[in-house]
A and B are shown apart, each in its own frame.
Chain A
Amino acid sequence: MTLEELQALAEKTRAAAAVAGRVVRVCQGTGCHSAGSDTVQQALARETKERGMGEAVTVMRVGCRGLCASGPIVSVSPDNLLYRSVEASDAPELAASLGGEPLERLRLPSDSPFFARQKKIALENLGQIDPESIEDYIAAGGYTALLTALASMAPAEIIQQVSVSGLRGRGGAGYPSGLKWGTVAKAAGAEKYVVCNGDEGDPGAFMDRSVMEGDPHRVLEGMTLAAYAVGAKHGFVYVRAEYPLAVSRLRKAIRQAEQYGLLGDKIGGSDFGFKVELRLGAGAFVCGEETALMASVEGQRGTPRPRPPFPAQAGLWGCPTLINNVETFANIAPIVRRGGEWYAAIGTPKSKGTKVFALSGRVVHTGLIEVPMGITLREIIFEIGGGIPDGKKFKAVQTGGPSGGCVPEKFLDMPLDYDSLVSIGSIMGSGGMIVMDETSCMVDVARYFMDFCTGESCGKCVPCRVGTAQMHRVLDDITRGTASEGDLARLEELCDMVRNTSLCGLGQSAPNPVITTLRYFRDEYEAHIRDKRCPAGRCRISQEAAA
């Protein structure tokens, strides 16, 4: 398919959509889907058909709208109406209301801060297009960046745009993407690979899942642009097996793109070819680490290896390999289409653009949000998130998953970016953001994460394998009230050692939840140890210890 053909198809699809004046979009993200949104969609389709609205109303499936806790979410355009918690039994009433008075009973104000405060780039198509329709994606401007670039941009120009955009890796560490792409492009080697890391293993994170499910072509387009930029002919999308919907949507998207000549040989009539294969993870958090991920793609135990050499020099099968995560790739097409300068104008000086967060825990509106870098935690939690439910008091927000930390109230007004979070002992991570109130015990939270890291340690290096087990043991003792003062000193010593000597990022960051809770909530530790008491009333202090 050439650029002209692409534009013609986009026109045609848009024209067809315009005929149907009213579009009812039913969210089919995993959250809404589990709340029965597929039956809601069927019911709405049936109702509108029976009412003879067939031509004038289109009922369609869309990706995640973000407000997962209020699903199933249904939107109606052009009326700009949003409905929440829609059930199949609501379909007749809802269908009857189309074109007339909105159904107030289920209505969600679309100017609520949850939507108004967001800025969507990576998520711009989510909730708008049918994720299983490549035509929908094309009508929304999809693949224009790719075919335009293939026709008129040199690979170096794409890397230039990505560099100018200031985009940093959205997987966690925030390495400048342009720099990484440049290294792979410069690396010698006939064979190069592009890998998309969709192994979203952080508990409390579902950003990448929503993107893969809701806009799979966006990921593929980003990867293809990357492949063209760095000179790769093959790519892999590494997806968690726990995301069956993402897997099937990606599989379908790859097939569609191949049919349209947007993947495969001679893309867009150019000499450039790129093939993408799916690889399923099998439940190993460490595979989010890039060298472990590569081992897994090669069909081996997902154990990391020392870097250097970095994947950009020697990655898959020893070839230069570009690894970025899903959200990073989702930002590429807009950057190429609208220019790096446009993207760089959003965010903070050192962290440009937007970031997708999975907001959950003790917060009124849980769900998926995309906000400009530099926004404060207070704005996210109290404006977008609607604050803490049940009249409870905010205690901490956990960012960065098991590699991150617990951020206390005093930092709520700090502008959020990669560096500010690191400065207070946490990390941006992939974007999980879990809000905790006074009912959470911070020692118990630290113990929880250490339990996670102990179970997910690959076992290759000694500090992580045994150090996490020993740290977990101390934390377990503290939560049971059987620890002594000396244990706290030993815990801190272990944190320092595991952080500085572990082979990979998992071990190096495993102490973070402990270090931050010790720094900001030390009194809670001391209460468990000295007074044999859990201030949050969460831990089961052993009778013996209490006595």
Chain B
Amino acid sequence: MSVAQTHHGRFLGSRTPAPSGDARWKLVAATMRRHGYRADALIEVLHAVQGAFGFLDDDGLRFVAASLRVPYSRVYGVATFYQHFTLRPPGKHTCVVCMGTTCYIKGAQGLVEAVQDRLGVKPGQTTKDGRVSLLEARCIGSCGLAPAVVLDGAMHGKIKAEDLVGKVEEWMKHDS
């Protein structure tokens, strides 16, 4: 990649040791290498960390900061600016309710409340046993299928509150 070489004299490569021997750090390191350890690749690299570990922890942020030579506070500022990044480990299962306009006028709020009542957690929280995270999305762009939810990565359209709660209850029941 050569795009920003001209604007960023720093093409130093990095020798910052990974936080642990976890093989997933190699994936992160590969992303950094592909981007020439450029500071402007910060968001791409944070995506790589979250993709590998499911969330961003302090060790990861320090590793990325040191490798890309970006100040800690800037890394933290970027990581907390974007809604996609999370600093807390997600639950084993995730229930994302789309809160886009179309879903909203077709009753997404009711979906959130139903799950909230069942799990006792607010959007953005994970059940105490770490089993389920309830999340809200701004809009997943599946407005034709409103109201829509994403359960463990799979989209479900035109869903009813009782069906959604049913699916969430399965997660709570089974040791899957």
Contact = CB atoms under 8 A, between A and B. Distances in A.
B161 to A, nearest CB: 16
A202 B43 contact: no
A282 B146 CA distance: 23
Interface in B28-49: 38-44, 46-47
Interface residues of B, number: 46
Nearest to B158: A69
A285 B42 CA distance: 19
Interface in A283-321: 283-285, 296-303, 317-319
A300 B78 contact: yes
A360 B103 CA distance: 9
A191 B3 CA distance: 10
A360 B43 contact: no
B12 interface: no
A452 B78 CA distance: 20
A398 B3 CA distance: 40
B82 to A, nearest CB: 3
B1 interface: yes
Interface in A370-416: 398, 401
| Most chain A CB neighbours (cut-off 10 Å) among B42, B74, B141, B146 | B141
Nearest to A206: B141
B84 A204 contact: no
A432 interface: yes
Nearest to B3: A234
A40 to B, nearest CB: 15
Given A283-B84, A301-B77, A204 B101 contact: yes
Given A204-B100, A434-B101, A283 B40 contact: no
Nearest to B74: A300
B49 to A, nearest CB: 12
Contacts of B154: 34
B46 A282 contact: yes
B163 to A, nearest CB: 15
Contacts of B145: 31, 34-35, 68-69, 71
Contacts of B106: 361-362
A241 B47 contact: yes
Interface stretch (B15-23, B114-122, B132-140, B167-175): B132-140
Given A299-B41, A299-B78, A360-B102, A204 B140 contact: no
Interface string A354-365: 000010111000
Contacts of A358: 143
A46 interface: no
B46 A242 contact: no
Contacts of B87: none
Contacts of A243: 141
Interface residues of A, number: 62
Interface in A33-59: 33-35
Interface string A55-80: 00000000000011101000000000
A277 B1 contact: yes
| Most chain B CB neighbours (cut-off 10 Å) among A200, A283, A319 | A283
Nearest to A301: B81
Contacts of B77: 301
Interface in A306-340: 317-319
B99 interface: yes
A31 B143 CA distance: 9
Interface in A184-220: 191, 200-206, 209
| Most chain A CB neighbours (cut-off 10 Å) among B3, B7, B84, B146 | B3
Contact of B142 (A30, A234, A319, A436): A30
B54 interface: no
A317 B104 contact: no
Nearest to B139: A203
B138 A282 contact: no
Contacts of B82: 281-284, 302
Given A34-B155, A440-B105, A299 B138 contact: no
| Most chain B CB neighbours (cut-off 10 Å) among A203, A241, A361 | A203
Nearest to A277: B3
B141 A360 contact: no
B6 interface: yes
A281 B7 CA distance: 22
Contacts of A201: 138-139
A35 B1 contact: no
A303 B43 CA distance: 14
A421 B84 CA distance: 33
B85 to A, nearest CB: 6
A148 B123 CA distance: 53
| Most chain B CB neighbours (cut-off 10 Å) among A35, A234, A242, A283 | A242
B9 interface: no
Given A34-B155, A69-B145, A282-B46, A203 B100 contact: yes
B143 A360 contact: yes
Contact of B139 (A202, A297, A317): A202
Given A31-B145, A202-B139, A299 B42 contact: yes
A474 to B, nearest CB: 19
B176 interface: no
A445 interface: yes
Contact of B144 (A69, A279, A439): A69
Interface pairs A-B: 3 shortest CB-CB: A68-B144, A282-B82, A283-B83
17 contacts: A30-B155, A31-B157, A34-B155, A68-B144, A69-B144, A71-B145, A204-B102, A206-B142, A242-B141, A275-B2, A279-B43, A280-B44, A285-B138, A299-B70, A300-B78, A360-B102, A439-B105
